[in-house]
Amino acid sequence: MESCRALVLSLCVLSVSLALAAGRDVPVKRYVVNLDAAPEEHFLPMCQDPDILELIPMLKKDAKDMITSLVPEEVLPLVDILTADLDQYLPQPFAGEMRGIANCTGIDLGEIVILNLAYDLTAFCTSIVAQDAKGTIWHGRNLDYGFGDFLRNITVMLDFQTKGQTLYTSTSYLGYVGALTGQRPNKFTITVDERDQGAWWMNALEALLNKKASLVSFLVRETLAEADTYDVAIQRLAYTPLIAPVYFIVGGANVAEGAVITRDRESALDIWTMNPAQGRWFVLETNYDHWEEPPADDNRRMPTMKAMNTTGQAGINASSMFQVSSTRPQFGHVVLSVPHVLNKGTTYTAIMSAAQPQVYNTWVRWPEGQASAQSP
């Protein structure tokens, strides 16, 4: 599986309309999740969307292909135990939501459970949190997976609402109940990057069955729902036991609120924070510990840092934070590009700012010459 490449900042805006004309960047559909309804009904409106209904046969087939490719055969009996008594092992609303998705899509519940585990632990990506010259915090991320063509077609944005008000928003995939990218308006933003520590399936499932740890994406959703400040979010993400190591990248709504949390399963190994007063106005994370040298075959860190420093703090804003590209600029625009930014595994790009929550948007990234199954 290709690891995702660096998120790159542009000096000038390449308009979204030009990108759409090229058939590469497609804003995703947005749905409301009514948290006041029963968990089994949370994703029902999305499942009933005619566009989604058309994709369900493909989803069923590709889900089986993903499971065959990603899941070791020896862990399947543990998945069967988990699925047989889902409420015992998984908290609400997640257990009910998985059952509801299985019911409305016709996909086997065990497969829904496996897909949620696979999405949770196989995400390759780059995340950047930066503070502009006026003190506004911006958060951008690219997310890559294998099976990119399948996942691009089922990428969605979800507004989780209670009493008609949006409590938090996430970018997700149909069938996935966790969150790897999300925003609590006017409070904080979170992205998750994989921290590869070798074989993990057996240890992860055993921890889950023993109720000793949380799924990464469940913790993110719970934090988005329950933490009411940036500091509370940091503490919760740093010290809640998890089923696998991970990086949490967090942006706040106030000056200097930005951090990369390097996690093992028990707690944080390191919390690396922004410090604009000392010149550290951005933090970035690929899929490697920031204090270690990245491997020679995947050194995305230094080119990205160079691109950020060339752009400069004064050049960071909602527009310049968007463009991620490995191609040459068009129409005279100057783009700071890192090789292989947009690759065959890139499923989406998301841009957020907790202080300006209306900015949050997600674009599906189709490789050159390809188009969405839903495109005209």
For helices 94-105 and 109-121, angle between their N-to-C axes, nearest 10 degrees? 120
Please, what's the b/e burial string for 202-214 (b: 16 or more CB within 10 A of its CB; e: otherwise)?
eebbebbeeeebb
Q: What is the pLDDT of residue 196?
A: 76
Q: What is the pLDDT of residue 199?
A: 64
Q: What is the pLDDT of residue 78?
A: 84
For 319, counting Cβ atoms within 10 Å of its Cβ (0-12 exposed, 13-18 middle, 19+ buried), the class is middle
275 token code pair: 């410090």
Q: What is the pLDDT of residue 198?
A: 62
Comparing C-alpha atoms, which of 113, 343, 360, 139 is closest to residue 248? Answer: 139
For helices 76-84 and 201-209, angle between their N-to-C axes, nearest 10 degrees? 20
Domain 16-26+124-365 CATH (choose: 3.30.360.10, 3.40.50.2300, 3.30.1540.10, 3.60.60.10): 3.60.60.10
Pinpoint the residues of the chain covered by CATH 3.60.60.10: 16-26+124-365
166 token code pair: 């949006």
Return the HEC string of 66-98: HHHHHCCHHHHHHHHHHHHCHHHHCCCCHHHHH
Active site residues: 125
Q: What is the pLDDT of residue 192?
A: 95
Q: Alpha-carbon torsion 288, 291, 295, 297, what sign?
A: positive
How many Å apart are CA 244 and CA 119, to the nearest integer?
A: 13
Q: What is the pLDDT of residue 163?
A: 98
Q: Write down the pTM of the prediction.
A: 0.87
pLDDT digit of tens for each residue in the chain (376 aa)?
343 333 333 322 223 333 333 346 788 999 999 999 999 999 999 999 999 999 899 888 888 888 888 778 888 888 888 899 999 999 999 999 999 999 999 999 999 998 888 877 666 788 999 999 999 999 998 888 877 888 898 999 999 999 999 999 999 999 999 999 999 999 999 999 988 766 667 777 777 888 888 999 999 999 999 999 999 999 999 999 998 899 999 999 999 999 999 999 899 999 999 999 999 999 999 889 999 988 877 767 777 777 788 888 998 887 777 753 333 233 333 333 343 555 677 789 899 999 999 999 999 988 765 554 443 2
- DSSP of 90-126: S-TTHHHHHHHHHHHH---HHHHHHHHHHHHH--EEE
Return the bridge partners of 169, or none: 159, 183
All residues at 6 or more sequence positions from 221 whose CB lies less than 8 Å from its CB, including other chains: 168, 170, 177, 178, 179, 182
Q: What is the pLDDT of residue 252?
A: 99
